[in-house]
Structure 1
Amino acid sequence: MLDAHLVTNCPKTCFYIPNFISKEEEEQLIQNVYNSPKPKWTSLKNRRLQNWGGLPSLKGMVQEEIPAWLNTQCRKIFDLGVFEDKMPNHILINEYLAGQGIMPHEDGPMYYPTVSTISLGSHTFLDFYKPISEGESAESTLESRYMFSILLEPRSLVVLRDDMYKVYLHGIKETNQDLIVSKKIINFNKLGQNYEESDILMRQTRISLTIRHVPKVLKVNLSSLLFKNKK
């Protein structure tokens, strides 16, 4: 089912689905994110985030129940075969205000080597970079290591696997606006007629639902663990 959405002019493997969810679904998801209990939010220097499903670690994830409003999206991802026969069991929600971003990084070995992300509220550019060579400085060589970008539209789904997940770094620049340069946007031919060369897109608040599968799950249940601690 994913094959029809393959992005062909990039290293293996990227899929991009515009309008993966409806406008109504988007509005309901945003409402549920902001209705979540305040303790679910963790504030970082350049964004806020929520963890659902548990806290992954190299030792394993203590699993917690995923609420129905997120489980619906997990089921849709599962039905696409994104993680083959595995059900997503972890969702990281990030809130990016205009001008906020994240440094180039890789997601690491705690997750099944595929990642899927639904964007809500605003577009962003997901930028890709070659890995840092030995002896290179991450800051001084960032521009020279830049490869291309994916324009993530509101309500879209992007799926990364193979080298796009395991080899190349991805990040989001801290900027308030983005310039359309079609040769730098690898999914430009999947964006319809919505953009023209040299268009300037203004960023607004974006919420990302990063949906993944954590293979190593500890058998203890987080809810029962909290109950025992209260005794």
Structure 2
Amino acid sequence: MPHQDGPAYYPVVAILSLGSPVVIDFTPHPNLSCPVGAHGNSAEDKISDQEAAVMNSCEWLDNFHPFSIILMPRSLLIFKDMVYSDYLHGIKDSEVHGCNGAVNVTNVQNHGVVQHSSGSVKGLDSDDTVICRANSRVSLTCRVVTKVYKSIFKF
């Protein structure tokens, strides 16, 4: 499910991926979309979360576009700044991930995990590239803790 990490992870998120490769999707926050035909990026053009959920067609405001990244086993993804604050991120709960639009798909094609869809997967054509999740995925999300109370742990 697409989400934003809370303030405990601010300003940087570091994710170490282990196990099966997956595609992580980044989508601009719904406040950064506007109805088709509405242009500009002033504060008045931004919409609420509820309005964004109801809309069937929208355009992203300038410089905010959805993108995906393939996370290979033993990979480290670090994101901060605009990606941290202005995007939702998530991994689809599916055994097959479409990866045509992944920004690094050409980099991972030599690793043998990217294949062409058989066309039997709902929503994918036979010429789409996919990653099949054969194993479980384990990830470690790291953060910097700015304040630690010494009295929390008493051994």
- Return the TM-score normalized by structure 2: 0.65
> Structure 1 residues 115, 141: closer, same or farther in 2, change over 3 A?
farther
Higher RCO structure, 1 or 2 (CA under 8 Å, sep 6+): 2
Please, which of 185, 189, 199 is the counterpart of residue 102 of structure 2?
185
Structure 2 equivalent of residue 205 of structure 1: 136
* Structure 1 unaligned residues grouped into runs of 5+: 1-102
Distance in 1 of aligned mates of 2:84 and 2:29: 12
Structure 1 equivalent of residue 122 of structure 2: none
Equivalenced residue count is 120
Does structure 1 retain, via aligned residues, the 8 Å contact 2:68–2:99? no
1:170 aligns with 2:89: yes
> Structure 1 residues 164, 104: closer, same or farther in 2, change over 3 A?
same
> Structure 1 residues 216, 141: closer, same or farther in 2, change over 3 A?
farther
Structure 2 equivalent of residue 152 of structure 1: 71
Distance in 2 of aligned mates of 1:108 and 1:141: 26
Superposed displacement of residue 132, structure 1: 1.8
Letter in 2 for 1:135: S
Superposed displacement of residue 189, structure 1: 4.3
Distance in 1 of aligned mates of 2:110 and 2:146: 40
Superposed displacement of residue 148, structure 1: 1.1
Does structure 1 retain, via aligned residues, the 8 Å contact 2:9–2:143? yes
Please, which of 132, 135, 140 is the counterpart of residue 48 of structure 2?
135
Distance in 2 of aligned mates of 1:174 and 1:151: 15
Please, which of 136, 148, 154 is the counterpart of residue 217 of structure 1?
148
Letter in 2 for 1:105: H
Distance in 2 of aligned mates of 1:156 and 1:221: 33
Superposed displacement of residue 139, structure 1: 4.6
Does structure 1 retain, via aligned residues, the 8 Å contact 2:12–2:79? yes
Distance in 2 of aligned mates of 1:201 and 1:143: 28
Does structure 2 retain, via aligned residues, the 8 Å contact 1:128–1:169? yes
> Structure 1 residues 141, 175: closer, same or farther in 2, change over 3 A?
farther
Structure 2 equivalent of residue 99 of structure 1: none
Q: CA RMSD in A?
A: 2.6
What's the CA shift string for 1:107-166, capped at 9, x where partnerless?
122234111111111011111111122334365459957701111111111111111112
Superposed displacement of residue 190, structure 1: 3.5
